[in-house]
Amino acid sequence: MHELAHLLPFADVDQIVARHCGCDISSGQFQQAVRYWRERLTAEPETTVALYCHDAYPFAVLLFAAWHAGKKVWLPANNAAGTAAQLTQNQCHLLGDWRIHIDDVLTEYAPTVSVFSPLHPQQTELVIFTSGSTGEAKAIPKTLQQLQTEINTLEQCWGRQLGDGTVLGTVSQQHIYGLLFRVLWPLAAGRCFQSKAALSPEVLVKQASPACWIASPAHLKRLDDDSPWDELANLSLIFSSGGVLPTAAATQIAEQVRQAVIEIYGSSETGGIGWRQYPAQNWTLFPGMQLSNHNDSWYLDSPYLPDQPDFELDDCLSSQANSQFLLLGRRDRTVKIEEKRLSLCELERRLTDSLWLEEAAAVVVNHHRDTVAIAAVLSEEGKHCLRSEGRTNIIKLLRAELAHWFEAILLPRKWLFLSQLPLTPQGKLDHDLLRQLLAPAGDKLPQLQSADLLDNRAQLQLKVLASLVYFPDHFPNYPILPGVVQIGWAEHFAKILFPINQPFCRMEVIKFIKPILPDCELTLQLTWKADSGKLYFQFKAHGDNYSSGRLVYGVTV
């Protein structure tokens, strides 16, 4: 293992460190690229840079260039326009893929006689930004020494199994997990890492062999019968972090590839705390970790946090023998409903223990008073029940199951069935999107009952309640839903689900084919084409088209 502080001064120039844009990158080429960008950044007046890159190799170049230029590095979670504006206001130099891509890092840079001095392990640092409990970005500083200590532990645990295999990833290095596993650990251990994140398992398995896969539950639970299982079975190891891997996904992978996923438990603040492999329910502490309990709170003593020997955890744990523990859910997810205490974690756990649900997420919504809403993914038994018994009956079954454990006032009042729970790019549950989907509809929006969500498409099941404000006046003797409202609904849901940031421009081929009546149940199909700025919508039911059209966004030329 190399020390990251000495990686560039003493690296073997012929060692292959990465594969980027179809080319193998040697350590010598990596050094030349870092040297070029170090000189450019040294000339910049800002002392802090905000680094965001889609690909891992340019990220590594710019990270080490910034460090060797004496800059403090911030890692924002995204490169959205609002994030860029906020960082610029804080006198932060934007580095990487912001408005445009960075210069090609494969450029043949002119040789130079300048050398690299070792980095200072304690004074070299970066700041990771992650969403806190309030939704505001939370700054978490990390020194080079902390990062080095953690990757030393990872190599101690799994270095022999990885050997000289290539590191493949479907997670972003903007998050602590991707940063360590996809970039810093391979660089220190002398393993080649694939620069571009694979978008599918089919693409991933074609990239290199032997190899390991740095994944998240978001990717692993989408594997299905058509996935390339024979090729996936050739991977040396599969890692997962960012959330608990659903049991169904863990079972499927263990059966198909004949090895269990290694799940990593930790946080941006703590780094890794423990790990486990299916079918184990217990987590095993990493070497050097200690847990203690005081006044019902759990505290971590970690070698990655030398200045915080008693770091308070947000999770509830149960200590087990042999340095093991069980996760019981987050402490900060205990809420009050009508003055009754409710653990949202326990509610979710009871739901997923039922036959009908694979996953569940509980959210508190306010409409005159606080109530609990549930977004859930149906199991195969649940899908069969929905088809045969209907939505109302499956909700009754779920509420009856919960009634064994919770008072009636605490039972969920709103239910939304999804094809998959929405996740952020870091693989975390997208709480903001869930809150918007589960928000009370009021008297101007339809009732959202279920949704199939993809990256640029969505199919929503809606119920148009007779109590909506539009029906009494349109028309008194024959109430129908106004066409302009249908267009408004299409835009409303599309702006929740898709990144539509441009102003509305015009409408195209709008057709109203069949009137929508009170208490009608409809399917709204939405397709967003970002390259053309066009939103396609269609309302339909039972094979009949009710309305359709296109909304165009962008600056009028």
Instruction: Tell me the CATH number at 461.
Output: 3.10.129.10
Residues 425 and 501 in one domain: no
Specify the residue for token string 């109203």.
512
Establish if 385 belongs to a structural domain: yes
373, 403, 435 - which closes a domain: 435
Residues 535 and 469 in one domain: yes
Residues 417 and 459 in one domain: no
Residues 445 and 552 in one domain: yes
Establish if 535 belongs to a structural domain: yes
Output the pLDDT for position 295: 83
Residues 462 and 398 in one domain: no
Output the pLDDT for position 556: 57
Residues 446 and 542 in one domain: yes
Residue 473 DSSP class: T
Residues 451 and 551 in one domain: yes
382, 402, 435 - which closes a domain: 435
Output the pLDDT for position 200: 86
Output the pLDDT for position 137: 66
Establish if 470 belongs to a structural domain: yes
Residues 483 and 464 in one domain: yes
Establish if 367 belongs to a structural domain: yes
Output the pLDDT for position 31: 93
- Closest listed residue to residue 414, CA positions, set 385, 435, 390, 443: 435
Establish if 10 belongs to a structural domain: no
Q: Which domain holds residue 356?
A: 338-435
In this structure, what CATH number is given to the domain that contains residue 360? 3.30.300.30
Residues 413 and 497 in one domain: no
Establish if 322 belongs to a structural domain: no
Residues 427 and 451 in one domain: no
419, 435, 451 - which closes a domain: 435
Beta strand pairing status for 447-453 and 520-529?
Answer: unpaired
Beta strand pairing status for 324-330 and 283-285?
Answer: antiparallel
Output the pLDDT for position 99: 66
Beta strand pairing status for 357-367 and 369-378?
Answer: antiparallel
The three-class DSSP label of residue 523 is strand
Output the pLDDT for position 207: 87
Say if residues 323 and 300 touch (Cβ distance below 8 Å): no
Residues 505 and 460 in one domain: yes
Specify the residue for token string 């990251």.
4
Output the pLDDT for position 129: 84
Establish if 412 belongs to a structural domain: yes
Q: What is the 3-state secondary structure (H, E, C) of 171-229?
A: CCCCCHHHHHHHHHHHHHHCCCEECCCCCCHHHHCCCCCCEEEEECHHHHCCCCCCCCH
Output the pLDDT for position 243: 82
343 CB-near residues (< 8 Å, 6+ apart): 329, 333, 334
Output the pLDDT for position 219: 86
Output the pLDDT for position 110: 58
Residues 389 and 486 in one domain: no
| Domain count along the chain | 2
Q: Which phi-psi region, left, alpha or beta, contains residue 297 (left: φ > 0; alpha: ψ -120 to 50)?
A: beta
Q: What is the pLDDT along the chain (557 residues), one digit of tens a residue?
A: 889 999 987 778 889 999 999 999 999 999 999 999 999 999 999 999 999 999 999 999 999 999 999 999 999 988 877 788 888 888 899 999 986 555 556 566 656 656 889 999 999 999 998 754 434 568 899 999 999 999 999 999 999 999 999 999 999 999 999 999 999 999 999 999 999 998 888 999 888 889 999 999 888 988 988 999 999 999 999 999 988 888 888 999 999 999 999 999 999 999 999 999 999 999 999 999 999 999 888 999 999 998 888 999 988 899 999 999 999 877 767 787 876 778 898 899 899 999 999 999 999 987 767 889 999 999 999 999 999 999 999 999 999 999 988 888 899 999 999 999 998 876 778 888 999 999 988 899 999 999 999 889 999 999 999 999 999 988 888 999 999 999 999 999 999 999 998 899 999 999 999 999 999 999 999 999 999 999 999 999 998 999 999 999 986 55
Say if residues 164 and 158 touch (Cβ distance below 8 Å): no
Establish if 357 belongs to a structural domain: yes
Q: Phi and psi for 215 in degrees, rounded to 5?
A: -125, 180
H runs (alpha helix) in 475-531: 483-497
* Residue 41 burial by Cβ neighbours in a 10 Å radius (0-12, 13-18, 19+): buried
